[in-house]
Chains A and B, each alone.
Chain A
């Protein structure tokens, strides 16, 4: 079952929030001031870039102070009528059961109307009559449509946390998820996300899906210019397109490296098109695109690129015939590129050992890698004495022994045998 880590690892109390200590203190003080009577400002407007914990802070605060949180977001108050429908809630401080109430209007940027008309106007009215704290959240508090509203609110700015703070948060998640992660990898994820905690956590989850380890190389290949959000948009278009032209347009819309995009589509096809018939059609479309890539390589005739695009976009899009829509399926990072990075050293090591074997055993190094190296591996894992003798005979070095033995510990025993 897929549980988004942004939900699973959402801070439950204020002490777990990443950064923004000052803003949170200010917010807490204001809420607590309600205990001494209605303060001058009956609303607080939290603002700042997305994904840095504005909503989460309010939720955690309500949790810490045992307040009843009434949460509304853009779809609930797009128009004045919609706002009026819940305005009544704000006119009482206590709930029926004696608890204290906190009203949260999230995603205020989505509200319609101008400063004195429509939705915003209704929000202002609600604040004026509020008998409990009303918290508003917006990305941009200085949007002209909020100019009147601002004067009724205590403005609290949320800032981006530092790379280190984000990385530390990722580290905590890794500990809980039992993932062994390289500090530099976490820092890189934090940096690449633009210090957006939510997006960093999403990236971490995508990058570590089903594994116990995260190395710097796993993250490093994510080139800056192929920004993930751009690619996600393109993928969205392709996997939802209803016509060939619509799917093909995705390529023009984004400045993405076609090879990179191919890898993204190839990775995600089986996750998006789960029906066997759809899957086989889409994979065949990708295979056809790949045949054209081969033809371009062979002829250097780049005119053929248009057919690569046809099959990797429209071909994949039109394969969706029977897969039932199943809500949002997160996009996966292309494993291929990570396999390449992760196994590069392995392959280099294999060919070095292959050369050594070739010298002694009258086979090509390629055949040595395929046919003999696997048995060497078994021997080096199982029998240090025999392994030491063979290591000496083949003249393999320490790093090769370590590779063949599969672990540092076993390699040490073999090396011990070599000396003794």
Chain B
């Protein structure tokens, strides 16, 4: 019996196994052929294969022993300038042994690096180009400072199409012997968007229940796995049950470790998806923007979001009165 998380078990090893992002993969393959790569930025939404592409590229360049030539750093965990000064520099300046003279450094979630750290990184990239090539991975390349962007080849990853996701999941389903009903596939795509990591995790969690996966199973798994029941919280507030809504908020923040910005992003999405009168959506967007700005400035997540919930309570009240 050997179980892993399927996202790892079925993560492509070589560029040849990646089915989507065709143009990007073609260009990366040409780097492998030339045995040379430029500093690169892989930008795009989560679960679209950025990290996988970087790992595959490295694998194809160096062969099975590629780990010896690679360092992976996640900027969310180590985002300060000291990491760049020490860890990155130490790794970057020593020469790699073998046919290819440089090593590869993957900086994941690079858009979470502080500006100072990015400035320091820029100099490091320049000085040690001979011995180390950087692949910066991020959701938005806009959060990477200009001088770094201008030194890197940009690659934009996009969400997987429904067909691509389907093909990929089909492979897992056959190997793992899982039964997914047709509508189940639709549900997986619905809940994941084109985020393949989310899709595979949801699929595995649903499969762990040990019954054929239909729409209902899929939604219940995602519901259970998604502590940010933002929709429900908003509904409570608008129905006038502010105290309950605030308790939901507390659960998200204190029990499940969500940040204020996670929650407010989802509130923002939900407002525009909702069936509220259109002019209310704009009114509320203004309040949301203001609160979001306060969060950026360092105000307290819970207090500020509570104030937003009170706004929803008021909106619900006004709407009811105006019929």
Contacts and interface: CB of A to CB of B under 8 A. Distances in A.
Contacts of A298: 297-298
Interface stretch (B19-27, B121-129, B179-187, B205-213): B205-213
B311 A280 contact: yes
A360 B317 CA distance: 49
Contacts of B55: 362
A361 B298 contact: no
B296 to A, nearest CB: 10
Given A336-B302, A389-B2, A287 B77 contact: no
B147 interface: no
A291 interface: yes
B254 A389 contact: no
Contact of A390 (B4, B76, B318): B4
Contacts of B51: 362-363
Interface string A332-365: 0001100110110011001100000010111111
B250 interface: yes
Contacts of B197: 371
B3 A336 contact: no
A287 B255 contact: no
Contacts of A393: 2-5
Contact of B8 (A339, A343, A360, A369): A360
A386 B5 CA distance: 9
A379 B208 contact: yes
Interface string B301-320: 01110110111011011100
Interface in A156-188: none
Contact of A287 (B8, B109, B258, B299): B299
A378 interface: yes
- A interface SS class: helix
A215 to B, nearest CB: 15
A343 B256 CA distance: 9
A372 B257 CA distance: 13
Contacts of B204: 375, 379, 386
Contact of B77 (A280, A342, A358, A362): A358
Contacts of B7: 361
Nearest to B195: A371
Interface string B210-252: 1000000000010011110000000000001011001100100
B201 A371 contact: yes
- Of B72, B198, B298, B307, most A-chain CB atoms within 10 Å: B307
A383 interface: yes
A76 interface: no
B304 A385 contact: no
B190 interface: no
Nearest to A361: B8
A151 to B, nearest CB: 55
Contacts of A369: 257
Contacts of A346: 255
Given A294-B299, A294-B300, A270 B242 contact: yes
A291 B242 CA distance: 21
Q: In which size bucket is the chain A interface?
A: 35 or more
Given A287-B294, A379-B208, A270 B243 contact: yes
Contacts of B72: 362
A366 B8 contact: no
A377 interface: yes
Contacts, number: 164
Interface in A84-111: none
Contacts of A389: 1-4
B55 to A, nearest CB: 7
Contacts of B309: 283
A241 interface: no
A277 interface: yes
A111 B310 CA distance: 47
B167 interface: no
A396 to B, nearest CB: 12
Interface residues of B, number: 63
Nearest to B72: A362
A386 B203 CA distance: 13
Contacts of B82: none
B4 A383 contact: no
Given A270-B243, A346-B255, A276 B313 contact: yes
A66 interface: no
B36 interface: no
A287 B210 contact: no
Contacts of B144: none
Nearest to A366: B76
Contacts of B299: 287, 290-291, 293-294
Contacts of B257: 347, 350-351, 369-370
A286 interface: yes
B60 interface: no
Contacts of A392: 3
A339 B254 contact: yes
A293 B300 CA distance: 9
Contact of A284 (B109, B227, B307): B307
Contacts of B240: 276
Nearest to A351: B257
Contacts of A377: 224-225
A276 B314 CA distance: 5
A388 interface: yes
Nearest to A380: B208
Contact of A279 (B198, B210, B247, B310): B310
B202 interface: yes
A382 B208 contact: yes
A57 B299 CA distance: 52
A74 B148 CA distance: 80
Contacts of B112: 364
B76 A367 contact: yes
B3 A294 contact: no
Given A287-B294, A340-B254, A379-B205, A362 B108 contact: yes
Contacts of B254: 339-340, 342-343, 347
6 nearest A-B residue pairs (beta carbon):
A389-B3, A364-B76, A374-B225, A287-B307, A383-B208, A283-B310
Given A361-B8, A385-B1, A393-B5, 19 more contacts: A270-B246, A276-B316, A283-B306, A290-B304, A297-B298, A346-B255, A360-B4, A361-B7, A363-B108, A364-B76, A365-B77, A370-B257, A371-B46, A374-B224, A374-B225, A374-B256, A386-B204, A387-B208, A388-B3
Interface of A: 266, 270-271, 276-277, 279-280, 282-284, 286-287, 290-291, 293-295, 297-298, 335-336, 339-340, 342-343, 346-347, 350-351, 358, 360-367, 369-372, 374-375, 377-379, 382-383, 385-390, 392-393
9 contacts: A290-B303, A335-B250, A362-B72, A365-B74, A367-B76, A372-B5, A374-B226, A382-B209, A390-B3
